[in-house]
């Protein structure tokens, strides 16, 4: 069995994106019982500075194509190079990170190869399927995360998937494989570089939810920006990080960089305190592994209570001032 993985560089740091090692480790564990190899495919201006690290997370061989023009993310050029690598390697399975680039390149390639592509997989495994022998089973949340769908592409070669960052774990210690790198040869065409990149703007700094033991989060039920300030005060008092549901972001209460949920950050703090969050499945997908969940919501039927350990049915506006008074006493005493 051969699995090819898309190697992606973070253009800001010049290093591998985290998801690449995760793909490599996952691919290695999928291939292991059957024998075979994990091949990395890279197209860019130059290899990530730490690309050799991949050989310590399951990669067997790296195929790369580097050219200066690929400094910018010329979608069509990268698609054509990776597609040609896939055709030449003929892998059973191709995995991409579900990053912006991966989610753009993978569908372009799947369309031209007429290959089955499953987006945002959270779990992959190999098992028998009828007379097809061993095939890839791809599990992904769908329907806004309300269902988990297992998708197969039994007649497709290759089978393609994008995999969410942070979902697959890299084992602490893996055998270090021998470093095998080779350059891929191909001639680029000028009409693959039709877009001009006028300016590159850095993204706003990411919020590091994972460094915080406590997260205080608000949703649409918070109601106003002023009320959200109350949450922020409470978070300050607890030394907690402030977060919000998508509804809170859409209402302009909080910046998108602080969004928690399926399309935002996935967090696992020791304590998660949710105010005015109904608990849509998208939101829960980002926080339901928190060790302890406390919910305050005026709607007793809010789904958030199904996954909470402690709660109060009440408007957060009423609760927070009382809460802060008791907290002050408790923290000082």
Q: Which of 12, 35, 130, 205 is in the footprint of another protein by CB under 8 A?
A: 12
Q: Which of 213, 225, 226, 229 is in the footprint of another protein by CB under 8 A?
A: 213
Pairing verdict, β 123-128 and 134-142: antiparallel
Which residues inside 123-142 make contact with another protein, applying CB under 8 A? Answer: 137, 141-142
User: Which of 42-50, 59-67, 173-181, 319-327 is the region at the interface with another protein (rule: CB under 8 A)?
Assistant: 319-327
Q: Which of 35, 68, 114, 133 is in the footprint of another protein by CB under 8 A?
A: 114
Q: Which of 76, 167, 179, 188 is in the footprint of another protein by CB under 8 A?
A: 76
User: Which of 28-36, 51-59, 180-188, 268-276 is the region at the interface with another protein (rule: CB under 8 A)?
Assistant: 268-276
Closer by beta carbon to another protein, 55 or else 275: 275
User: Which of 39-47, 57-65, 86-94, 194-202 is the region at the interface with another protein (rule: CB under 8 A)?
Assistant: 194-202
Residue 198, C-beta contacts closer than 8 angstroms, at least 6 positions apart: none
What is the C-alpha separation between 75 and 108, in angstroms, rounded? 9
Q: How far is CA 254 from CA 66, 143, 330, in A?
A: 40, 25, 29
Pairing verdict, β 61-66 and 214-218: unpaired
Q: Which long-range contacts (CB under 8 A, 24 or more apart) does 221-224 make?
A: 221/275, 221/276, 221/277, 221/278, 221/297, 221/298, 221/299, 221/315, 221/316, 222/248, 222/253, 222/275, 222/276, 222/316, 223/276, 223/317, 224/253
Q: How far is CA 267 from CA 87, 215, 221, 237, 288, in A?
A: 38, 9, 21, 20, 8
Kindly state the number of chain residues that form the binding site for another protein, as judged by CB under 8 A: 100
User: Which of 27-35, 53-61, 179-187, 205-213 is the region at the interface with another protein (rule: CB under 8 A)?
Assistant: 205-213
Which residues inside 234-263 make contact with another protein, applying CB under 8 A? Answer: 238-241, 246, 250, 256, 262-263
Q: Which of 75, 122, 181, 232 is in the footprint of another protein by CB under 8 A?
A: 75
The radius of gyration of the chain from alpha carbons, rounded to an integer in Å, stands at 23
Closer by beta carbon to another protein, 179 or else 281: 281
Q: Which of 146, 189, 210, 224 is in the footprint of another protein by CB under 8 A?
A: 146
């Amino acid at each position: 069995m051969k699995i090819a993985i898309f190697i992606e560089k973070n253009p800001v740091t010049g290093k591998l994106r985290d998801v690449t090692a995760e793909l490599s480790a996952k691919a290695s564990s999928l291939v292991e019982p059957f024998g075979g190899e994990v091949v990395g495919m890279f197209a860019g201006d130059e290899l990530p500075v730490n690309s050799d690290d991949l050989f310590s997370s399951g990669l067997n061989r790296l195929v790369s194509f580097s050219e200066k023009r690929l400094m910018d993310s010329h979608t069509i050029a990268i698609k054509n190079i990776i597609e040609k690598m896939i055709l030449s390697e003929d892998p059973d399975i191709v995995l991409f990170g579900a990053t912006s680039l991966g989610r753009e390149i993978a569908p372009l390639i799947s369309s031209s190869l007429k290959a089955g592509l499953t987006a945002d997989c959270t779990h992959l495994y190999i098992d028998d399927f009828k007379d097809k022998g061993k095939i890839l089973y791809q599990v992904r949340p769908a329907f806004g995360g309300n269902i988990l769908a297992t998708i197969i592409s039994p007649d497709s070669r290759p089978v393609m998937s994008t995999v969410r960052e942070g979902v697959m774990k890299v084992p602490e210690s893996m055998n270090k494989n021998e470093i095998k790198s080779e350059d891929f040869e191909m001639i680029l065409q000028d009409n693959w570089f039709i877009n001009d990149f006028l300016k590159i703007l850095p993204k706003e700094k990411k919020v590091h939810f994972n460094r915080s033991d406590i997260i205080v989060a608000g949703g649409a039920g918070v109601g106003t920006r002023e009320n959200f300030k109350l949450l922020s005060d409470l978070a300050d008092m607890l030394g907690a990080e402030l977060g919000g549901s998508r509804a809170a972001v859409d209402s302009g209460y909080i910046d998108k960089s602080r969004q928690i949920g399926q399309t935002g950050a996935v967090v696992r703090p020791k304590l998660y305190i949710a105010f005015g969050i109904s608990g849509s499945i998208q939101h829960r997908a980002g926080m339901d592994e928190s060790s302890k969940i406390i919910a305050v919501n005026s709607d007793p039927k809010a789904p958030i209570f199904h996954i909470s350990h402690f709660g109060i049915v009440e408007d957060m506006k009423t609760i927070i001032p009382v809460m802060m008074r008791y907290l002050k006493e408790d923290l000082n005493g």
